[in-house]
Structure 1
């Protein structure tokens, strides 16, 4: 069993406060939400379950124990567990399946793919994006790669260049850099369409968030040739840093996207 801040079900209020004290929650006698150090109990459960995901206790696609089982193990109410699971689901780390239970998100699922693939056709009904690797190689990290991925001067990276299509039409070219130390052997692998699934299953690295910067650019000659369109067309550059569950930058991805019949879709909450 993993070490948990919820070692045993509390039997009274004093014990509950003791549990919260040990986990960085409200101090004894300081239950007001504005008190310094206060963290709602469901957020403590969230963090405990998040650590299990980071430690690969549960694998992508695996079903979690029931809410009742988790509540009994962690010593909290079933409602508190449900609220934590809802938050993890909202963060796309878990998937609820009606009548079946709660599962660890698998990046091969359409829901998970479109969490990170934001291009959509102007008309409705997009299919799944596909990909084709153009080049892959390991090399010494450039100054830009070291800066973006927080790497030491001697670090090496694996660079992946690939084309992606939506509904059978080429729509973007992307260059991906990952630390070679975190992804040993990836340069020799046959890469799947969804890299984030490979990261989780083969390397135990789950992408939690992605920070993106968008910029309008003109399509260069090389990119235009690969995308089979004219050079100079307007395009969208998406500069992404993907961060894992341990808050480490683990991937730098630069995508050049055609937008003549596509748009970038983002939902703000």
Structure 2
């Protein structure tokens, strides 16, 4: 395993005798350690679902105190990037974990909770490789014309088409993605992205507005084109804020509602 660059040392631990003093640090030491752990996650040193080294091992690796490592891990756990398990250690969070997989699912049935609802039935309308339009390229930090995978699908609950989605993914990261994979994977789509492509979505931002569907969209959702739907545009990022998915969905809200918790 290649060694990582060391952060500014605590009490001079990483500075040899007679060495030039380190450049001033502009972020707390635990934030530097957090950044180093994030880099290891981004480069796949520890896969989703795997245990990371203990706090003591990481402290020795980075030449800092165990308390500094603990503070960095606390923040990563609060960000849902790591998951602590009592008596077992700290693990890379995965969308296959029940407490994590619903983090991006905001559409709730009017009666009950999404966790008790049967999984959505997926109908893939289209899955193709094409050149990115200017707006898609801009959102995904690509060049206009770079390859992307576009997926169009309908998600149905209890046989009722409820969500129509267009998804764009960078072609270089999702090479070989097929409609069959998208339709047949038994778990959450984001868990499939982790398992099959090594891409974990860790953060997303959304924009919402009410719109009227066009005739084709209304047909796929089995509603009238005069029925308002909720338009949700989501940009999802992997580690270190790298954009990896643009998703535009139309949501029926006659049996479901969009629910968010604000802290």
With the length of structure 2 as denominator, give the TM-score of the two structures: 0.84
Q: Kindly indicate whether the alpha-carbon contact (under 8 Å) linking 2:7 and 2:32 is maintained by their aligned counterparts in 1.
A: no
Matched residue SS, 1:207:
coil
Q: What is the match of residue 243 of structure 2? A: 249
CA distance in 1, matches of 2:252, 2:179: 29
Which stretch of the first structure deviates more once superposed, 106-115 or 196-205?
196-205
CA distance in 1, matches of 2:108, 2:77: 23
Q: Pick from 109, 115, 120 the counterpart of residue 130 of structure 1.
A: 120
Shift of 1:236: 0.9
Q: What is the match of residue 261 of structure 1? A: 255
Q: What is the match of residue 85 of structure 1? A: 73
Cα gap change, 1:147/1:13 in structure 2, threshold over 3 Å: closer, same or farther? closer
Shift of 1:144: 2.6
Q: Tell me the number of residue pairs that the alignment of Structure 1 and Structure 2 aligns.
A: 254
Q: Kindly indicate whether the alpha-carbon contact (under 8 Å) linking 1:161 and 1:176 is maintained by their aligned counterparts in 2.
A: yes
Shift of 1:261: 2.9
Q: What is the match of residue 194 of structure 1? A: 188
Matched residue SS, 1:112:
helix
CA distance in 1, matches of 2:67, 2:158: 42
Matched residue SS, 1:186:
coil
Asked if 1:145 corresponds to 2:139, the answer is no
| CA deviation profile, 1:13-67 (whole Å, cap 9, x unmatched) | 2336789x75x7xx2xxxxxxxxx5312211111111111000000111112222
Q: What is the match of residue 150 of structure 2? A: 159
Shift of 1:204: 2.7
Which stretch of the first structure deviates more once superposed, 55-64 or 226-235?
226-235
Asked if 1:14 corresponds to 2:2, the answer is no
Q: What is the match of residue 109 of structure 2? A: 121
Asked if 1:49 corresponds to 2:47, the answer is no
Structure 1 residues not aligned, in runs of 5+:
28-36
CA distance in 2, matches of 1:229, 1:135: 20
Structure 2 residues not aligned, in runs of 5+:
none
Which stretch of the first structure deviates more once superposed, 234-243 or 121-130?
121-130
With the length of structure 1 as denominator, give the TM-score of the two structures: 0.82
Cα gap change, 1:131/1:67 in structure 2, threshold over 3 Å: closer, same or farther? farther
Asked if 1:234 corresponds to 2:232, the answer is no
Q: Kindly indicate whether the alpha-carbon contact (under 8 Å) linking 1:219 and 1:233 is maintained by their aligned counterparts in 2.
A: yes
CA distance in 1, matches of 2:38, 2:210: 36
Q: What is the match of residue 93 of structure 2? A: 105
Q: Kindly indicate whether the alpha-carbon contact (under 8 Å) linking 1:126 and 1:167 is maintained by their aligned counterparts in 2.
A: no
Cα gap change, 1:246/1:203 in structure 2, threshold over 3 Å: closer, same or farther? farther
Cα gap change, 1:54/1:189 in structure 2, threshold over 3 Å: closer, same or farther? farther
Q: Kindly indicate whether the alpha-carbon contact (under 8 Å) linking 2:137 and 2:145 is maintained by their aligned counterparts in 1.
A: no
CA distance in 2, matches of 1:172, 1:142: 23
Cα gap change, 1:169/1:70 in structure 2, threshold over 3 Å: closer, same or farther? farther
Q: What is the match of residue 3 of structure 2? A: 3
